[in-house]
Every structure is written in C-alpha cells, then in structure tokens.
Amino acid sequence: MNSRRLFARAQKSLVGGVNSPVRAFKAVGGTPVFVRSGSGPHFTSAEGRRYIDYCGSWGPLIFGHARREIAKAAADALRSGSTFGAATEREVQLAEELKAALPSLGLVRLTSSGTEAVMSALRVARAFTKRDLVIKFAGCYHGHTDSLLVAAGSGALTLGAPDSAGVPEAWAKTTITLPYNDLSAVDKAFRKYRGKIAAVIVEPFVGNMGVVLPHDGFLEGLRALTKRNKALLIFDEVITGFRLCYGGAQTILGVTPDLTTMGKIIGGGLPMGAYGGRKEIMSLVAPLGPVYQAGTLSGNPVAVAAGLETLRLLQKENPYSRLGQITDYLLRGLSEAAEDARARVQINSAGSMFTLFFGKGPICDLAAARKCDTKKYGRFFQRMLKQGVYFPPAQFEAAFVSFAHDKKDLDHTIRAARRALRGL
C-alpha cells in the first residue's frame, strides 16, 4: 500500500483523509506522505522510502524517532497498566522536575495536550483577575481553543472576530488580537480597555507563523505592562519548553511569566500538556479552588514515563550546545545555497528551530510573513521531498533539528537545497 492509495482510502473515512489539517499537504500540493516507521532523524514512508525528517512531529522529538531509552520507559510503563484514572508516583516526579527546571512554577497541573493546557490557563487567569478580556498576537497559535481562534477586529484595537466557523461571535469578542512585537499597541489596548484585560498570552519565540523572534525589550515590556495593569502574563511554551535549553524560553530571557503552558517535549513524543504558575493563582484550580478542570487521561502513566525519561536524557546528555552547532552548520549551508541560487530567502532561527521564508526580511510579525511566496515554498518543499528531505508541509511552520541528525544528514540536506533552489 503506497501513500497515494492510502490517502484515497483515508478520505473515505477520515475528514479530509487526515486527523490534523496540515498533514493534508494543501499548502504545498501533492499527496501526503504516509509514515510507516521512524528511527533517529529518519522516517520511512509506506512505499519504503527513507526521509531525513525536519518536522519531528512538530517539535517533541528532540532526540529523534524511537530513542531506545524513551521507548523502553514507555513500554515498561505500559506493561504495568496503560491508565488508571487515579494518581501515580510518576506524575509527582514529573511535576517536581518541571518545577525544578522552571522556577516560575509554584504548582503544576498535567493535561493531555497543549490546547487543553492553554484553555485551562486562560480560565484560571480570568478567575484570578475577575476579568474577561485576553490579548493575543496575530500569528501566534495557542491550540484550537474557541476564544483564541480569533482574527483581528476591523480596527487595531477592536475586539476580535471568529477566525473559524463554529466559534460564537460573543466568545471571539473576549479576545483582542494585536501585531506581534508591537508594544505600543498593547499599551493602547490596556488604556482603551482599562481594568478589563485578564491576561496577555504570547509565544516568547513564535513557531506558528514560522519562527519569529521577539524584538529587544518586547517581552520585558509585556511583563511591565501586565504588572502595571494588574493583568497576568502567560507564556505559551508548548514548543519552546525544553527545546532551547533545559527549562523554557523564560530561562534564557530572564522574563518571569505568571502562568506557563507546556507540551510536546515533556511527553517524550506521547500526548502530554501541562500548565502552572504562581501558587496563589494555581490554588484556584479544583480541588483547591472553584476553577474546574479535569481529564481522564491527564497524567497518563505511559506519557509521563516517556516524558520523565526524556528530561533525564536532556539532563544527562545536555544536547543543547551540539544542537546549536549542528543547526548553525545547516543554516549556513542553506544560506549559502540560497545566495548562490540568488533566491530571495530569509532564514529565522531560535536554537534548533528555524524557518525558511521565501520573501524579503526582516520577518518580525504576521503581516511580514504573509508577504512571503507560499507557492515558491511549495515548489521548494516538493523538490526537497523528491530528494528524501522532509520539511514542514507549510511555509508558516517551524522546522526542527534533532540530536540524532548527523553531518551526513546535514550535508545531504544542503546539497538537496542547492538543487531545489536553482531556478526556483
């Protein structure tokens, strides 16, 4: 069974033939690749073709596919029982590890996804401040929570409009969407909606309009503005948590949020999310307080075991220096390939995550990202795919380097890019 036949079969049973939209390849064209297995930095398709993977399941596979120790930890946990709907010791251990890595976490609650963590963090923020409005930034994705699937209003400081069918307009109007990196817009919003804004939620390093970096002082400015206006600052570290360092972006930046959401790496590649923050805020969550949030599979023992082993390996092997070195090597090669091909490519990166934008730089917000040539990226993606290199199947996504990528993989990728960019 090959990918083309599997996709045709899938469309008869699954919505669009997939279980998450970007997998359908609508943004890049062609038939989605169906994966049979993965090992290290590679996966093998249904046809038996091996690809160098720079998607890494959208970030959690910092050690690559099927790292032996992580797989063993999950298998051992499964043999003891897949789920209990009751407390286990490993949940406590994982929460303790997260607290030790991120001092901003006074108390933690485990969930089954990043979306669930964000949804819950917003609920707690609104309860703590007794306010309804939330500021988010255009291009930052925080999962498919209804109140955050919101486009900017008709004016820069108006309440939002639904960005997805099925989202009630009343819910969208609890969200103010502003340009990323525009601190003055945040200040104006606080002035216009004085005493009504519960929280500002932000990806400290954006990964969901492609990689976009914060301007100097932007995150520090958000911290100052939220404090001044008695609102909470929420860092969405679902992607950046344990990706850039052992801890979160907040560890590198020195900016302490009130609440943090996490996912991806902390589950070792299995479904996992978490949110946490100051004890006085998190004490509002049931059973300590009136904010209700629950989940049958929250703290699932198999995912927790995989997450604990991943964190153990990160502490033992401390791969961040090597990840930085191999990412720099790859990006230098890609930049030289683009320059030689006279291709208009802007590369943004943060640690081991990066994006090739097919447009003029600098790319510092969604408006700039949207000016990029998505069709050109689609052609680049398909040319790379034919050479056995799998990049994210959308221009506005982050690519990830893993600890398992070696020089042979990187050199092959650079050679493939030279060919792919030629005449593009």
The alpha carbon of residue 54 and the mean position of all alpha carbons in its chain are separated, in whole angstroms, by 14
Residue 255 tokens, joined: 């900016």
**Residue 163 bears catalytic tag:** no
Single out the catalytic residue among 51, 53, 136, 141.
141
Judge whether 260 and 105 are in contact, CB under 8 Å.
yes
**Which residue matches tokens 């792919």?**
420
CA 21/CA 375 separation, integer angstroms: 18
Judge whether 190 and 197 are in contact, CB under 8 Å.
yes
**DSSP 8-class letter at 259:** E
Helix, strand, or coil (residue 207): coil
What residue spans of 275-373 are helical by DSSP H?
279-282, 301-317, 320-340, 366-370
Q: Parallel, antiparallel, or unpaired for β 197-202 and 133-137?
A: parallel
**Residue 141 bears catalytic tag:** yes
**Residue 51 bears catalytic tag:** no
Single out the catalytic residue among 51, 180, 236, 320.
236
81 Cβ neighbours under 8 A, 6+ residues apart: 301
Single out the catalytic residue among 53, 180, 264, 377.
264
Q: At 408, phi and psi to the nearest 5?
A: -60, -45
Distances (CA, A) of 401 to 101, 124, 307, 354, 406: 22, 34, 19, 8, 10
Helix, strand, or coil (residue 59): coil
Active site residues: 141, 236, 264
